[in-house]
Amino acid sequence: MADKPDVISVGDIVTDVFIKLLDNQARTYEDDHQEKWLAMPFGTKIPYDTVETIEGVGNAANAAVAFSRLGLNSAFVTNVGDDQIGRDMINSLHKNKVDSRFVRINPDKVSNVHYVLRYQVERTILIKHEAYDYHWPHLRPNETPKWIYFSSISKHAIEYHDQLADWLDEHQDVKLAFQPGTFQMEAGVERLQRIYKHSDVLIVNREEAALITGGKHDDYHDLLGRMHNLGAKIAVITDGPNGAVASDGQSAFRMPLYPDPAPPVDRTGAGDAFASTFVAALIKGNNIQGALQWAPINSMSVLQKVGAQAGLVSEKELENYLVHSPENYRPTPM
């Protein structure tokens, strides 16, 4: 019998196909609204540099693997199609020691495939989430985790949020970490208010915090306060090169980035690595200051490899980075 999970990650799983564009075959520009665009010649054949296929990724899948690498019993609730891509993704979970007993294979459906256009260190991702028949699984007492980590899922799964909220109502001792994906943010806080109210941890980036809460983009305290008002017990905002901030409603802290040992290779999955590692630190008994010291290390490491999982570290590796961290690598009160 499989071990009882410490944490069950919930969300869609995908296979990413990374296509690295040649620098001289594409360019970027800003339009009149300061939006950045990737441009390539149209209606012709364009040489590319490399292609790489990585199975079993996506926000929640990346988190599930991060939890496993950090020594937690990690399981995953997700959907795949009845095809070879789906079987390969389940096999990828096995290789990463993620419990796949809750993966549902959908007959006559295809699995999710995303195409990642890599241009220099940035990427543009072409996404499509298949319309699976989403149902929250029946978890027996020996399958009930300490934590649920909920992230990006299809727009077709809106009622799935209600099923999860109902289950959390019945399992008040289970903690919820919520890292909303694109479609969840588009659904709005009113539609997902029960999920936000259940959130022991809510993690978003600065732009998402302003979008979700309607708060002031330039005011961390306003954004954190509004996240708490939604129901989050711990609110976390990542802010790119500016690091991150976190609040438990009583105290708030600012945390810098862990310095890059070399220029970043690929930014895919850096946010997932930060969010899941922050939660892993809490599961292992750290306070928010300790979690803020853990999270940027995995984020930094992921940037050094292609894809969202190759750079994920073990707890021993993470502790080694902590030992050798710079003097200023510590949380400071806000």
Domain-wise residue ranges, the chain = 7-14+58-112+133-333
Give CA–CA dist 207/89, Å, rounded.
31
Q: Over its length of 334 residues, how does the chain's per-residue pLDDT go in tens digits? A: 468 999 999 999 999 998 999 999 999 999 999 899 999 999 999 999 999 999 999 999 999 999 999 999 999 999 999 999 999 999 999 999 999 999 999 999 999 999 999 998 788 989 888 999 899 999 999 999 999 999 999 988 999 999 999 999 999 999 999 999 999 999 999 999 999 999 999 999 999 999 999 999 999 999 999 999 999 999 999 998 899 999 999 999 999 999 988 888 877 778 999 999 999 999 999 999 999 999 999 999 999 888 788 889 999 999 999 999 999 999 999 9
Which of these, 130, 283, 49, lies nearest to 295 by C-alpha position?
A: 283
- Quick check: 286 and 294 in contact, CB under 8 A? yes
DSSP string for 42-104: SSS---EEEEEEEEEESHHHHHHHHHHHTT--EEEEEEEESSHHHHHHHHHHHHTT-B-TTEE
Pick the CATH number of 7-14+58-112+133-333 from 3.30.1330.10, 3.40.50.300, 1.10.10.10, 3.40.1190.20: 3.40.1190.20
- SS3 assignment, position 105: strand
